[in-house]
Amino acid sequence: MFLTKLSRLNPNPLLLILTRHLSNPSKLHDRYSFKPPPSLSPNTQGQNPNHNNPKKKQKPQYRPPSSLDRTGQKPIHSDLPFDFRYSYTESSPTVRPIGLREPKYSPFGPGRIDREWIGVCAPAVDPKVRSVEGAEEDPQLEEKRKRRRQKVQGEPLTPAERKILVDKCQRPKTKRQINLGRDGLTHNMLNDIQNHWKHDEAVRIKCLGVPTVDMKNVCTQLEDKTFGKIIHRHGGVLVLYRGRNYKPKKRPVIPLMLWRPHEPIYPRLIKTTIDGLSIEETKEMRKRGLAVPALTKLAKNGYYGSLVSMVRDAFICCELVRIDCQGLEKSDYKKIGCKLRDLVPCILVTFEKEQIVVWRGKDYKPLEDGYFLPDRELFDNPEGDLVSGEEGCGNSDGNSSEKEFDSGEE
């Protein structure tokens, strides 16, 4: 540093020669056997010192792990005897959509499972079938699910065993819980239930939001898709038992969905004119419906288990019923209206101003079936069959009885 400053102030030929000798490593090596370190070598600046060493292997470039990278791996095979859907309670296989909002990209990832995604579900058909759109569902799938459920359940629980399991699942005893929200029973929730069954024989499931309008469907789908049995219900809180012969090491293979698929396009719920009425009569009915006093106001993510019975009772004296849904998501009260249309049954009039207005129709006859579930249930009949088909938990054939039990939920 000092020599360079002097050379700039007074360029002396002697100093120039000295700096040339110091900067040339070959001359230093010849005269003084001096080897410069690799950092000062001009040929290796910015390079790895072991770059020319053929014995040392170069490390491969780091790649973050990805679930989509399945090079050299076979597709996942699952022997579950039902179609894979995003939601089993909020989608019906009997209702066909009129279109799709996106291409048929499998939400399980490309090539991860041996089932083909058809835009709505992944059918449980032979993967060698070229076109699954025209393939009918195997009529023996329901029988396979029934046999498998009976094999896992084994002998029914005694009332004392049920009471012990229900006590263990109450809030003061454990914090383990699965929340079932507006999407209902989703496919990935099946894996969560299996994970809880590793540690406990029963799991507590809390249901809130849109699916609670039809709790019978929720109970049916839970038992049908998990092969478990509901041993207690209080409002929207369920206790799901895994079965006597359940073995965690032999749990079914459940491939996970990596993203939520877009919902398909279904026909419009509200038509321009109501069937049997003219355009002017439809407009007049919508005005009257919005002016009717509200039957109830729905809370966001609440429990709506008694909504259908309230609408049925209101139709005895009123032909139009209005339900206040202010604060709810638009998709939520549309799904609630769709469920009311099928369960009451009734005719949807309008969804304007965050209100659900329904009409009982011209020839309305109140239903007399025992569809609804009691507010609190303990399944104490050891010979009670599992929920399947049209039989619900809480049917009137005596398989389940309503009993008072100090569950600790209040």
Residue 140's pLDDT is: 77
**Measured on CA atoms in the order 263, 267, 269, 271, is the torsion positive or negative?**
positive
pLDDT over 50 (residue 382): no
What's the DSSP call for residue 399?
Answer: S
pLDDT tens per residue across span 130-142: 444 444 556 678 8
At CA 123, angle to CA 120 and CA 127, rounded to 5? 130
Top mean pLDDT of 57-61, 121-125, 384-388 is at 121-125
Range list of β-strands (E), 160-292: 178-180, 202-207, 229-234, 237-241
pLDDT exceeds cutoff 80 at 75: yes
Domains annotated on the chain, with CATH: 74-266 (3.30.110.60), 279-359 (3.30.110.60)
CA distance 186 to 116: 19
What's the pTM value of the predicted model, to 2 decimals? 0.73
- Structure confidence at residue 160 (pLDDT): 94
Residues 6+ apart with CB under 8 A from 385: 391, 399
pLDDT at 215: 93
pLDDT exceeds 60 at position 21: no
More confident residue, 163 or 41: 163
38 CB neighbour count, 10 Å cutoff: 13
Rg (CA), the chain: 34
Share above pLDDT 90 across residues of the chain, in percent, rounded to a whole number: 46
Over range 403-408, report the average pLDDT: 37
pLDDT at 379: 59
Q: What is the predicted pLDDT for the residue at 124?
A: 85
> Which three-class secondary structure state does DSSP give residue 4?
helix
Average pLDDT along the chain? 80
pLDDT at 287: 93
